[in-house]
Amino acid sequence: MTKKALVIDDSRAMRTILSGILGELGYEVEGAEDGGQALLILNSGGPFDLALVDWNMPQMTGYDFVCEVREEPRFADLRLVMVTTENEISRMSEALEAGADEYIMKPFNKEMLLEKLMLLGIEADRD
């Protein structure tokens, strides 16, 4: 079955880049401009396997999104990866404690994203 991913970032350019990479890996990708919109998508469509989550966004931040998602047992299998310019170790700890599975600091490249997905055991089967 095709895996589904949600890319949550208020920058359209960033959504395009991330969606492009995940698309190459065989994911079916949807985008959201902030946490609130992402929650709506999660609640109506689904199930999603992976969400890439920016931190700073208007309305609902990525951090609040992670907290909300982790409140809901039915999203327990959703892997949450922060992709953000918040590069402080304290921020990283907060996000992990809230339930993020991985954390990528911007700037990043495609290889880094693939390596993080490999850590979560959800990279595509590349040879």
CB 81 within 8 A of CB 103: yes
Q: Provide the token pair at 64.
A: 């609040």
Does residue 40 bind another protein (CB under 8 A)?
Answer: no
* Binding track, positions 57-86, relative to another protein; x by CB under 8 A: ------------------------------
Q: Which of 1, 2, 89, 126 binds another protein (CB under 8 A)?
A: 89
Does residue 93 bind another protein (CB under 8 A)?
Answer: yes
By the 10 Å C-beta count (0-12 exposed, 13-18 middle, 19+ buried), 2 is classed as: exposed
Does residue 122 bind another protein (CB under 8 A)?
Answer: no
Torsion sign, CA atoms 31, 44, 118, 101: positive
Q: Which of 40, 56, 112, 124 binds another protein (CB under 8 A)?
A: 112
CA distance 97 to 34: 21
Does residue 16 bind another protein (CB under 8 A)?
Answer: no
Tell the smallest beta-carbon distance from residue 59 to another protein (Å).
Answer: 25
Please work out the total of residues on this chain that contact another protein, with binding judged by CB under 8 A: 18
Classify the phi-psi angles of 99: left when phi > 0, otherwise alpha if psi is within -120 to 50, otherwise beta.
left
CA distance 9 to 34: 6
The binding site for another protein (CB under 8 A) comprises 87-89, 92-93, 96, 100, 102-105, 108, 111-112, 115-116, 118-119
